[in-house]
Amino acid sequence: MLRSISKIAATAAVFVTLGVAGTVTAAEKISPPAQDWQHAGIFGTFDRDQLQRGYQVYSEVCAACHSLRQIYFRNLEAIGFSENRVKAIAAEVEVAGEPDSDGESTTRQGKPFDRIPGPYPNEQAARAANGGAYPPDLSLMVKARLGGADYLYALLTGYGDAPQGMQMNEGMSFNEYFPGHQIAMPAPLSEDAVEYEDGTSASVEQMAKDVTTFLAWTAEPELEERKRLGIKVLLFLLVLTAMTYALKRKIWSDLH
């Protein structure tokens, strides 16, 4: 009997603890503010200039730690780069080549058909270079995080000083929108961290908006084509409905 009562009490304690923990977590979570994205909505499209600026931010800032494994160099033509520009971008990096006659590994200049290479050869090397933290691949990041582009933009602009009394763990940075508010990644963006080729002022907010838009494209490069197809289907259904209704009126008028 006493053993049963003890089990019930222990179970109740667990549920109370979980309830308290859940309350604390919910209280700490701050929803990212909604942003105005040009690619959002049924008629939304990507701004090619913004996509190219976003790629520049990725390549000059984010690529030092984060990979983009789902994207090939040739895909960059879809964001407005010319074929020759894509070839030049690919040629700036070295990728693994075919083994030589002695079986030794070789490298070669990148080609448009190559994937954009990551900064580390494997996960172990990535963790070793980042104090045990593993920088995630960014290809699908906008799809992988609750809040999507709004969350990613908020994360990039949400760094600051920890509130008074908050105990920060060693090597962690305070971020208003990251769960728990402690993130292993230092603030990646700072004023004028890049010099935009089109002369746009490189504020933290501008760079965050541009690279978030670029990562929205990497997560769903077929978005515009899907929307165009959807609109065509809707128009077809409207015409078909109108024709069906007219045919129905004609048939029933003859019967009457």
- What would the mean pLDDT of 11-29 be, rounded to a whole number? 40
Tokens representing residue 22 in the block:
């859940």
Per-residue model confidence (pLDDT) at position 15: 34
Instruction: Determine the Cα–Cα distance for residues 208 and 228; give it in Å rounded to an integer.
Output: 28
Instruction: Determine the Cα–Cα distance for residues 133 and 158; give it in Å rounded to an integer.
Output: 20
Alpha carbon 214 to its chain centroid, in Å, reads 8
Instruction: Determine the Cα–Cα distance for residues 65 and 129; give it in Å rounded to an integer.
Output: 9
Residue 156: pLDDT above 80?
yes
- What would the mean pLDDT of 220-239 be, rounded to a whole number? 86
Instruction: Determine the Cα–Cα distance for residues 96 and 135; give it in Å rounded to an integer.
Output: 22
Q: What is the pLDDT of residues 38-65, one digit of tens each?
A: 999 889 999 999 999 999 999 999 999 9
Who contacts 201 (Cβ-Cβ below 8 Å, separation ≥6)?
none
Q: Is the pTM of this model over 0.75?
A: yes
Per-residue model confidence (pLDDT) at position 251: 80
Range from 42-46, 77-81, 200-204 carrying the lowest mean pLDDT: 42-46
Per-residue model confidence (pLDDT) at position 97: 81
Residue 9: pLDDT above 70?
no
Per-residue model confidence (pLDDT) at position 24: 36
- What would the mean pLDDT of 126-153 be, rounded to a whole number? 94
Instruction: Determine the Cα–Cα distance for residues 209 and 109; give it in Å rounded to an integer.
Output: 31
Phi then psi for residue 108, to 5 deg, are -150, 170
Residue 10: pLDDT above 70?
no
Helix (H) or strand (E) holding 156: helix 148-157
Per-residue model confidence (pLDDT) at position 28: 61
Per-residue model confidence (pLDDT) at position 61: 97
As separate numbers, helices (DSSP H) first and strands (DSSP E) second, the chain gives 8, 4
